[in-house]
Amino acid sequence: MVEFRVDRGGGLPAYLQLVQQAREALRLGWLRPGDKLPTVREVVATSGVNPNTVLKAYRELEFAGLVEARQGAGTFVKAALGSVEPEVMAELREQLGDWVRTARTAGLEDEDIHALVGVVLTGENNNG
């Protein structure tokens, strides 16, 4: 089961952080169709957000067709995201973790790493 966390210092509203974390868990294979999401009460206890915030996030996920609420039973994953096998995703995550450790050893900070990954993902090359 996924455990949601909310960064109150970030610029993203809490409900969108919950939506984003659920989508990432789906994409990474940590949540699969049929899995039950934490109850509203559990999310409130672990993240400290208002119950209405959790409900808003779950409604957003339901509207996107990713989860379904079952009266009296909870909220369940309805659809998966991503098409890569979980084993492949785990291997790539390990390799990326090694790369991030190497980057930090070389002196890069998180903002530097984000910028570098962003450039690689967009295919931009500003070296002339």
**Is 68 in contact with 76 (CB distance < 8 Å)?**
yes
C-alpha distances out from residue 19 to 1, 5, 71, Å? 15, 11, 21
Q: Is residue 24, in this structure, part of any structural domain at all?
A: yes
The pLDDT-based confidence of 95 (bands split at 50, 70, 90) is very high
pLDDT of residue 105: 95
Q: Is residue 128, in this structure, part of any structural domain at all?
A: no
69 and 90 share one domain: no
pLDDT higher than threshold 50 for residue 3: yes
pLDDT higher than threshold 50 for residue 113: yes
**Is 52 in contact with 63 (CB distance < 8 Å)?**
no
CB atoms within 10 A of CB 14: 20
Domain hosting 93: range is 86-122
pLDDT in tens, 20-42: 999 999 988 889 899 999 999 99
Q: What crossing angle do the helices spanning 14-27 and 40-47 adopt, rounded to 10°?
A: 110
19 and 66 share one domain: yes
More confident residue, 84 or 95: 95
Q: How many separate domains does the chain show?
A: 2
Q: Is residue 3, in this structure, part of any structural domain at all?
A: no
Q: Is residue 127, in this structure, part of any structural domain at all?
A: no
| pTM: predicted TM-score of the whole model, two decimal places | 0.74
pLDDT (mean) for 99-116: 93
71 and 93 share one domain: no
Spatial distance between the Cα atoms of 128 and 122, rounded to a whole number of angstroms: 16
CB atoms within 10 A of CB 81: 16
18 and 72 share one domain: yes
Spatial distance between the Cα atoms of 7 and 72, rounded to a whole number of angstroms: 30
Spatial distance between the Cα atoms of 25 and 89, rounded to a whole number of angstroms: 12
Rounded to the nearest 5 percent, the helix, strand and coil shares of the chain are 55, 5, 40
